[in-house]
Amino acid sequence: MRHDANLTADRPTFVTHLECSMTGERYEADQLHGLSRVGRPLLVRYDLEGAKAALPRDELARRPADLWKYRELLPVRATRNIVSLGEIATPIIPLDKLAAEAGAKHLWVKDEGRLPTGSFKARGLVMAIAMAKELGVKTIAMPTNGNAGAAAAAYASRVGIESVIFCPADTPEVNVREIAAQGARVYRVNGYIDDCGKLVGQGAKERGWFDLSTLKEPYRIEGKKTMGLELAEQLDWELPDVIFYPTGGGTGLIGMWKAFAEMEALGWIGSKRPRMIAVQAEGCAPMVRAFEAGERHATRWQDAHTIAMGIRVPQAVGDFLILDAVRESGGVAMAVSDDAIAQAVEDAARKDGLLLCPEGGATLAGWRKALAEGLVSADEKVVLFNCATGLKYPLADQSKTLDKDGAIDFAAL
């Protein structure tokens, strides 16, 4: 099979309709939608019986290993509207030394930093932009803490859609410059990501931009759900016992939970589910607070702060979907300190050679905390999600200098 067969071969999609995640109200497919009438995310629904007949599980192994191999379970109808920058299947990497230190057996990282633009945001935005193209959108706008904006800019430029991106003023510099380099108009805002989102909403009303904010359109979830499809396939259709996921807007956690249900309906997996652990930073933990209080919705977190910018999301429109998935799975929402995050990043790099981003470090810190508190056991199969390459974040300079013209004591080196 050609390397680009998933991008060029005509294949059906089995989308039937969209539905409100809160009320179940039905919406027509193939039309441009934002949130539902009650202001909640729309979910894409499929004819899963039809998909089951058209796509036997074994067929996937014959297709190139990229995100688009799951075309029948994705929303893009016309092959000409597919966009790609090479969304490979990301590797699962064991952290053997860190696991051994803790007396554990199976600690793995799914390293999403290998995707285009260096983060798992590529999964959601490639689908959102492809559907924006299919539905005739000319200009998109969105708020970002960095990586989502970079992915949106790259894919929008590739298909000729204009992009306008708003980010908090303290967004990592490499992200801001990356967004601009890939063709977007990018603006720094003296506020948080939800403040940026308000500006996007105002601009959408005044300028006609399409709002591509997290969960405010239906298709980023569909891109992110490929993490669940891919993970199951890579593990020979046996899901892990526990998944630790860095949670800000939570699209990936919601998407994976949706993927697991769809795969069971397709007969690809059984009823076993991993416990979903939503990991947040102590300085911005609205989901943790709501989980511990038994609430279904999370109130806005004031004075949010953390070194893990990607999970600095004071309020999420899909809060109830995150909390529902965590509770249904038997998981928890937990918070970790910035010191624990920084230590986890350093340990993974120095001991197992894997440079995590701070958000990925949060999942390792979360696993350590969960292990210490008896929330996970040492013999359980655990997958951590590293959502971006660590190279996109400031790194401490730990180098030393040498004078080539002076005497060098090599014994001291």
Q: How confident is the model at residue 12 (pLDDT cuts 50, 70, 90)?
A: very high
Burial level of 357, CB count in 10 A (0-12/13-18/19+)?
Answer: buried
pLDDT digits (tens, 9 = 90+) for 320-349: 999 999 999 999 999 999 999 999 999 999
pLDDT of residue 156: 98
Nearest CA to 92 among 114, 61, 70? 114
- Structure token pair of residue 239: 């899901």
Question: Which residue, among 211, 232, 214, 233, has the nearest Cα to 223 in the 3D structure?
Answer: 214
Q: What gap in Å lies between CA 283 and CA 370, rounded to an integer?
A: 19
pTM for the structure as a whole: 0.96
* Confidence bin at 198 (pLDDT 50/70/90): very high
Which residues, including other chains, have CB under 8 Å from residue 9's CB and lie 6 or more apart? 79
Task: Domains for the chain: give ranges and CATH numbers.
Answer: 1-82 (no CATH), 92-114+225-391 (3.40.50.1100), 120-217 (3.40.50.1100)
Segment 173-201 shows an average pLDDT of 97
pLDDT of residue 1: 87
Please check whether residue 311 is in contact with residue 284, taking contact to mean a CB–CB distance below 8 angstroms.
yes
Give Rg (Cα) of the chain: 21
Mean pLDDT, to the nearest integer, of 279-284?
Answer: 98
User: Which three-class secondary structure state does DSSP give residue 166?
Assistant: strand
19-61: pLDDT as tens digits: 999 999 999 999 999 999 999 999 999 999 999 999 999 999 9
The 381-386 sheet, strands edge to edge: 92-94, 106-111, 381-386, 242-246, 275-281, 333-336
C-alpha distances in angstroms, 377 versus 52, 369, 381?
Answer: 36, 11, 9
pLDDT at 396 over 90: no
Give the Cα separation of 97 and 217 in Å (integer): 41
SS3 142: strand
Q: Mean of the per-residue pLDDT values for the chain?
A: 97
Tokens of 243: 């998944």
φ, ψ for residue 279 (rounded to 5)? -100, 125
> Region 281-293: what's the mean pLDDT?
98
What pLDDT was estimated at residue 394?
87
Q: Order of strands, edge to edge, in the sheet holding 139-143?
A: 185-189, 162-168, 139-143, 210-211
Residue 75 above 90 pLDDT? yes
Phi, psi of 15 (to 5 degrees): -60, 135
Terminal-to-terminal C-alpha distance of the chain: 52
Q: Which residue has the tokens 């294949």?
A: 11
User: Residues 94-125: pLDDT tens digits?
Assistant: 999 999 999 999 999 999 999 999 999 999 99
Burial of 63 (0-12, 13-18, 19+ CB in 10 A): middle
pLDDT in tens, 203-253: 999 999 999 999 999 999 999 999 999 999 999 999 999 999 999 999 999
